[in-house]
Amino acid sequence: MSHIRGRFSKPADKLVARYTASLPFDRRLYRQDIRGSLAHARMLAKQGIITDKEAEAIAAGLLSIQKEIEQGKFPFKAELEDIHMAVESRLIEVAGEAGRKLHTARSRNDQVALDMRLFTREAIGDTVKGLRGLQRALIALAGANKKVVMPGYTHLQVAQPVLLAHHLLAYFEMLQRDIERFHDCLKRVDVMPLGSGALAGVAYDIDREFLAKELGFSRVSRNSLDAVSDRDFLLEYQAAAAIGMMHLSRLAEELVIWSSAEFDFVEIDDAYATGSSIMPQKKNPDVAELARGKTGRVYGHLTALLTTMKGLPLAYNRDMQEDKEGFFDTVDTLLATLEVMAGMVATLKVKAGNTLKAAERGYILATDIADYLVKKGEAFRTAHEIVGRLVSYAAAKGKALSGLDLSEYKKFSPRFAEDVRDITVASSLAVRDVTGGTAPGRVARALAAARRMAAKG
């Protein structure tokens, strides 16, 4: 870093250099860094701050550096603190004196803010694509199993029958909200910080609007101090990612439960399951477990950055360099989890016979029988009590409700008649014919609507 150590009498201690370096992880920002520098050099020339020839030499140098990095030939030097210094010092080597002018009217503080915004903008695009991919897999599974019935649960106790498609579409909705959260986050990422300088703005006649246009941003930041010290946009992405992972973790947990011998609702494809090193019969849902497990590290990164940012005085502080590793890992973890979950859902085999059998157990139609009494004139609270006693009576006899004689029903209420036998899993589904309900017609329409939504980018 010889070119920024004019003030010092000796080089930084080796340990200090290693401790303060971000190059091992921020080299990942090389494309964003070079893109920002290309736009900056073009702007400097347009404003007459450097000559066109100098800008051309800078641009040619930056493009050759990009090639070097992509071909693995770039000399990453450990003593160059970060990607910004690494690229600039190489530029001075390849472009000479012109390279020494690139950093005019710029600071690494607005530069790194720009790089992270460019990176996050791309990450949001990839994340939305990943979320859409999983939505499509859920829709395909729901569409292929339109008539499959399963028990719906509350407290993980059998509650009321639902269509499997209805259950899967619940996850579609969660992912839809995740997509909206990322789109909303993008609005605040979409702000161009260059021109803020180190903290106070720059002393040159620059054109920030031109930079914003060149770099595809909708607007420029309004306050230089804020622009170099704000990491809200990373926190927002990470908060949306944490919520998204929480959704994926719930889906993963259901697949773990459903694939157990006790439930036996689904079979996870061999390509998405693993074996045990000792128990030959085992087929473990490790992918789902890891999706569930990795949620913890994504939450951790959100908490870590919130804690890093807490109490920092304005403007830039070196603490903020700690934003990167956790952020990159959040993006990587979320994208990988979305992709692998989409593959697992797309290849899932549903055991419709087993889900139906499960839906016929556990006095699942008790609510429907209470509703039956209400239709015959009983108050709901009273009907609830009557059916509660009926269930306890049947349970004591070890019978299902359908196994009781009409005379037995009548002991609990004179309102029971032969038509109580018409209450079935199918009728239970059919009567829940409200917007958002599990009636087959409603679910078919919800599925069609989901298809239309998922067709969007």
Please identify every residue annotated as catalytic.
Answer: 155, 276
* CB-based contact 41:104 (threshold 8 Å): no
Beta bridge partners of 160: 152
Structure tokens at 195: 């021109």
Which residues are CB-contacts of 437 (< 8 A; sequence separation ≥ 6)?
none
Task: Kindly tell me the burial class for residue 351, based on how many C-beta atoms sit within 10 Å of its own C-beta (0-12, 13-18, 19 or more).
Answer: middle
Neighbours of 270 (CB within 10 A): 10
The contact pattern for ligand ARG, residues 309-338, with x = CB under 6 A and - = no contact, is: -------x-x-xx-----------------
CB of 111 to ligand ARG, least distance (A): 7
| CB 305 within 8 Å of CB 235 | yes
For tokens 């090639």, what's the residue?
67
What region, left, alpha or beta, does residue 124 occupy, with left being phi > 0 and alpha being psi -120 to 50 degrees?
A: alpha
Closer Cβ to ligand ARG, 121 or 136, answer by number: 121
Which two tokens mark 254?
């259901």
CB of 43 to ligand ARG, least distance (A): 20
Q: Which of 244, 215, 243, 224 is nearest to 135 (CA)?
A: 244
Helices (H), 259-379: 286-309, 323-346, 352-359, 366-375
The interface with ligand ARG within residues 376-435 (CB under 6 A) comprises none
Q: Which is nearer to ligand ARG, 108 or 294 (CB)?
A: 108
**174 or 194: CB nearest ligand ARG:** 194
In the complex, minimum distance from the CB of residue 196 to ligand ARG, in angstroms, rounded to a whole number:
12
Query: Which residues inside 78-117 make contact with ligand ARG, applying CB under 6 A?
Result: 82, 108-109, 112
Please report, as residue ranges, which positions from 116 to 175 form the binding site for ligand ARG (by CB under 6 A). none
Minimal distance, residue 50 CB to ligand ARG, in Å = 22
Eight-state DSSP code of residue 434: S
Query: Could you tell me the smallest distance in angstroms from the CB atom of residue 180 to ligand ARG?
Result: 30
Provide, rounded to whole angstroms, the least separation between the CB of residue 274 and ligand ARG.
Answer: 38
Q: Are 190 and 219 in contact (CB under 8 A)?
A: yes
Nearer to ligand ARG, 264 or 322 (CB): 322
Q: Minimal distance in Å, beta carbon 83 to ligand ARG?
A: 8
Question: Does 196 participate in binding ligand ARG (rule CB under 6 A)?
Answer: no
Instruction: Output 83 or 394, the one with its CB closest to ligand ARG.
Output: 83
- Give 21 or 137: the residue with its C-beta nearer to ligand ARG: 21
CA distances from 21 to 100, 351, 405 (A): 22, 54, 79
Task: Classify residue 280 as exposed, middle or buried by CB count within 10 Å of its CB (0-12, 13-18, 19+).
Answer: exposed
The sign of the dihedral angle between the CA atoms of 428, 433, 434, 438 is positive
Task: Compose the 334-373 pattern: x for residues touching ligand ARG by CB under 6 A, - for all others.
Answer: ----------------------------------------
Tokens 């915004």: give the residue.
Answer: 117
Site string (17-56) toward ligand ARG, x via CB under 6 A: -----x---x------------------------------
Asked if 400 contacts 394 with a C-beta cutoff of 8 angstroms, the reply is yes
CA distance 405 to 364: 18
Please say which residue, 315 or 344, places its beta carbon nearer to ligand ARG: 315
Residues that bind ligand ARG (CB under 6 A): 22, 26, 82, 108-109, 112, 316, 318, 320-321
